[in-house]
Amino acid sequence: MLARTLGYGLNGVNGFEVKVEVYLSGGMMALEVVGLPDASVKESRDRVRAAIQNSGYTMPVGRLTVNLAPADMKKEGPAFDLPIALGILMASRQLDMQDLTRVLTLGELSLDGTLHPVRGALPVVIAAKQQGIADIILPQENAPEVDCIQGIRVYPAKSLDAVVQHLKGRTPIPAQEQRTYENFLETAQVAMDMSQVKGQAGARRALEVAAAGGHNMLMIGVPGSGKTMLARCLPGILPPLTFEEALETTRIHSISGRLMPGSGLMVTRPFCAPHHSASVASLIGGGPNARPGGVSMAHNGVLFLDELPEFSRPALEALRQPLEDGVVSVTRVQHQAQYQASIMLVASMNPCPCGYYGSKTKQCRCSAHEIRRYLDRVSGPLLDRIDIQIEVDAVPVQEINQAAPAESSAQVRARVTQARKRQQERYRKDGIHCNAQLDARLSKKYCELDAASAQILHMAVERMGMSMRAYGRVLKVARTLADLRGAERIETADVAEAIQYRSLDGKYWR
Amino acid sequence: MKPYALGRRGEAEAEAYLQALGMRTLARRYRGGDGELDLVMEDGERIVFVEVKASARGEAGDGMCRVTPAKQKRIIHAASAFLLEREWMERPARFDVVEITAAGLRHVPCAFEASAWD
């Protein structure tokens, strides 16, 4: 007796179809799984056997061969428990069907037959939908994760028996109501609001500019000046994720197994703050299964590197490529995967080892040589990719106690969103979507200066010894400043402000 | 009682029990393929290979514990030889254990399987 069911495997962020064939023949009682299963799939034998018996069914006597096709792709994870168990029940006529390949079934079985949630349900369901599969049975804890996909019927199941009763038509499981993206946006919440930041007018402004143009940002300041707090505000002032962006981000989190159980689509931009001891593999992605790293977890959001010079040099240098391309390829012997990594990089650091170089309140104890060495841990090529650099000084006590409430994130976000809209409109034909992505050719086209502005910029270049690359950065930031004003033309004031965001070049890295 | 006699008596007891369940005896103390089968029964279409573990003392479960993986392997080899000899390779077959201890007789159907060891 041969039965067929349908499961899905994961390869990077993409799901692939796995036909599960179960053949019950005569011979000595046995259950064998073939088709390149890894250890966790082989273990499903024992779970499936117990689950079938504890759900009131019997293991058939005879030889059971389970084949996972295509046989040349490595299958991992316990998500094949459910299709295997159903296949066994079908092959032994306890469930009167032979072909269940139009219904995707996913789920890990517990020994008592209840279904446990699996990793990567979202990418699997997306792939299945693309292949034309419209009916999906999965563990009920995974159901909220996929309720954002339209055009499919999702049946959240509690146990193996519930699935069998559903398939027999005795107690059909009602299909879950799929939600539209607008429903989700209402649930968005942000960790830190701008209204909680006291003082720091300059830094607030820089943050807004960075958000408006998608510029990477570096904050240098004494300990306790609020750099981390400022960075945490950033996801809240960025425009809300679009549906496509939310899907991309959620599927990366889904396959890394870091989605909270029961949580649906991620609508808040991710904020990823790895500790400075992070290895290359943890930042970029890696491990034997080529799992995504920090840059991909922060996809469409913010990667915050606190204490930038403390990160290992190889880890920082490895960031250069994803910063440029917005995507990383992780290659290991067994696996190869490509993960999106379109991020805003926000870094913070102290100006010197003791932390007080340039402080107005405390004396720095470091020698010139020590400071030099500390700053040099951050390489030039990385700094080159950071458009906005600002100094953050400690807030005076009087300002902290001042009662005047600061502007909230929502107010700032409204302006940022407007500026982003202008950019998307302008670059629609150029294949980019924000000012930070302008290359030399495009910035010549879109960042035209009038005579007075050009003169200011030339003066700055001469006085501050600015490099040509820095010159290009200033133009881009000036473009963003004009967009924030809602103006098409860049004015002298924009250029002057943009120059300020490069002034640290001259002060620290000469 | 001597162990040998105890074993023989246990096997007879087990056979009577299984026959009462409706099984038919195909072979007793079958030897082949480097192993031995205490009882080979027929349960409808199915072949049932039975390992009998009898002891004068002991609690429930003691007999089961004595059917170690190594012992199971020998039983599986003997069972293959039996099925080959009769040209019954296509008939569904299972492995049962019957233990007889101070706590009484216990029959464990499908006690183990012939899956590859890994």
Q: Which of B92, B110, B118 has the CB atom closest to A27's CB atom? A: B92
The minimum CA-CA distance between B90 and chain A, rounded to whole Å, is: 4
Is the C-alpha dihedral spanning B1, B3, B7, B10 positive or negative? Answer: positive
B113 CB near a chain A CB, below 8 Å?
Answer: yes
Ranges of chain A with pLDDT below 50: none
Chain B residues in contact with A30 (beta carbon < 8 A): 113-116
Q: Are residues A109 and A47 in contact, defined by beta-carbon separation less than 8 angstroms?
A: yes
Chain A residues in contact with B96 (beta carbon < 8 A): none
**Count of CB atoms situated within 10 Å of the CB of A194:** 24
B112, closest residue in chain A (CA to CA): A29
* Residues 6 or more apart whose Cβ sits within 8 Å of residue A54: A111, A112, A113
Q: Are residues A422 and A484 in contact, defined by beta-carbon separation less than 8 angstroms?
A: no
Give B118's pLDDT tier (boundaries 50, 70, 90).
very low
B87 CB near a chain A CB, below 8 Å?
Answer: no
Q: Which of A1, A23, A25, A29 is the best residue to mutate to test the B interface, defined by the most B CB atoms within 10 Å of its own CB?
A: A29
Residue A338 token pair: 């490509």
| Assigned CATH topology for domain B3-112 | Trna Endonuclease; Chain: A, domain 1 (3.40.1350)
- Check CB contact under 8 Å for B113 and A27: no
Q: Which of A26, A31, A42 has the CB atom closest to B92's CB atom? A: A26
The minimum CA-CA distance between B49 and chain A, rounded to whole Å, is: 10
Residue B103 token pair: 């706590």
Q: Are residues A66 and A22 in contact, defined by beta-carbon separation less than 8 angstroms?
A: yes
Residue type present at position B6: L
- Check CB contact under 8 Å for A29 and B89: no
Residue A382 token pair: 């990385």
Chain B residues in contact with A38 (beta carbon < 8 A): none
**What DSSP assignment string belongs to A215-246?**
--EEEEE-TTSSHHHHHHHHHHHSPPPPHHHH
The pLDDT assigned to A510 comes to 59
The pLDDT assigned to B63 comes to 81
- Check CB contact under 8 Å for B93 and A30: no
Q: Which of A28, A31, A59 has the CB atom closest to B93's CB atom? A: A28
- Check CB contact under 8 Å for B113 and A29: yes
CATH architecture of A2-178: 2-Layer Sandwich (3.30)
Q: Is A132 exposed, middle or buried (0-12, 13-18, 19+ CB in 10 A)?
A: exposed
B82 CB near a chain A CB, below 8 Å?
Answer: no
Chain A residues in contact with B83 (beta carbon < 8 A): 27-28
Residue A102 C-alpha from the chain's centroid: 31
The minimum CA-CA distance between A63 and chain B, rounded to whole Å, is: 7
CA A431 – CA A454 distance, rounded (Å): 28
Average pLDDT of chain B, as a whole number? 89
Chain B residues in contact with A46 (beta carbon < 8 A): none
B93, closest residue in chain A (CA to CA): A28
Q: Are residues A311 and A278 in contact, defined by beta-carbon separation less than 8 angstroms?
A: yes
* Residues 6 or more apart whose Cβ sits within 8 Å of residue A17: A6, A8, A127, A128, A131
Q: Which of B41, B82, B113, B117 is the best residue to mutate to test the A interface, defined by the most A CB atoms within 10 Å of its own CB?
A: B113
Q: Are residues A355 and A363 in contact, defined by beta-carbon separation less than 8 angstroms?
A: no
Q: Are residues A143 and A176 in contact, defined by beta-carbon separation less than 8 angstroms?
A: yes
* 3-state secondary structure (DSSP) of residue A399: helix
Residue A216 to residues A162, A219, A226, A501, Cα–Cα distance (Å): 51, 10, 18, 12
Q: What is the pLDDT of residues B8-41, one digit of tens each?
A: 899 999 999 999 999 999 999 999 888 899 999 9
Domain range list for chain B: 3-112
| Assigned CATH topology for domain A194-405 | Rossmann fold (3.40.50)
Is the C-alpha dihedral spanning A244, A248, A254, A258 positive or negative? Answer: negative
pTM of the complete model: 0.78
Residue A87 to residues A251, A255, A424, Cα–Cα distance (Å): 28, 26, 50
Q: So what's the ipTM on this one?
A: 0.82
Which strands sit side by side in the sheet containing A344-349, from one edge to the other? Answer: A271-272, A302-306, A344-349, A217-221, A388-392
* Residues 6 or more apart whose Cβ sits within 8 Å of residue A486: A418, A419, A422
* Residues 6 or more apart whose Cβ sits within 8 Å of residue A395: A198, A199, A200, A225, A226
Q: Is A414 exposed, middle or buried (0-12, 13-18, 19+ CB in 10 A)?
A: exposed
Question: Which helix H or strand E contains A65, and what residues bound it?
Answer: strand A63-69
Residue A98 C-alpha from the chain's centroid: 40
Q: Is A298 exposed, middle or buried (0-12, 13-18, 19+ CB in 10 A)?
A: buried
Place of tokens 């000084």: A393
CA A272 – CA A232 distance, rounded (Å): 10
Chain B residues in contact with A26 (beta carbon < 8 A): 89-93
Residue A58 to residues A54, A88, A92, Cα–Cα distance (Å): 9, 10, 9
How many contacts, defined by CB atoms under 8 Å, are there between A and B?
Answer: 50
B116, closest residue in chain A (CA to CA): A32
Domain range list for chain A: 2-178, 194-405
> Which of A470, A466, A490, A477 lies closest to A438 in space, CA to CA?
A477
The pLDDT assigned to A403 comes to 58
The minimum CA-CA distance between B88 and chain A, rounded to whole Å, is: 8
Q: Please report, rounded to a whole number, the percentage of residues in chain B having pLDDT higher than 70.
A: 97
Chain A residues in contact with B114 (beta carbon < 8 A): 27-30, 63
The pLDDT assigned to A261 comes to 64
CA B93 – CA A462 distance, rounded (Å): 91
Q: Which of B46, B90, B115 has the CB atom closest to A30's CB atom? A: B115
- Check CB contact under 8 Å for A45 and B89: no
Residue A497 token pair: 């402000």
A93 CB near a chain B CB, below 8 Å?
Answer: no
Residue A482 token pair: 């004009």
The minimum CA-CA distance between B118 and chain A, rounded to whole Å, is: 10
Q: Which of B46, B91, B115 has the CB atom closest to A32's CB atom? A: B115
Whether the bond between B92 and the residue before it is cis, its omega within 30 degrees of 0, is: no
Arithmetic mean of pLDDT, B92-101 = 92
CA A388 – CA A503 distance, rounded (Å): 10
**Count of CB atoms situated within 10 Å of the CB of A84:** 28
**What DSSP assignment string belongs to B59-93?**
-TTHHHHTS-HHHHHHHHHHHHHHHHHHT-TTSEE
CA A79 – CA A118 distance, rounded (Å): 6
**What DSSP assignment string belongs to A134-202?**
-EEEEEGGGGGGGTT--S-EEEEESBHHHHHHHHHTSSPPPPPPPPPHHHHHTT---S--GGG--S-HH
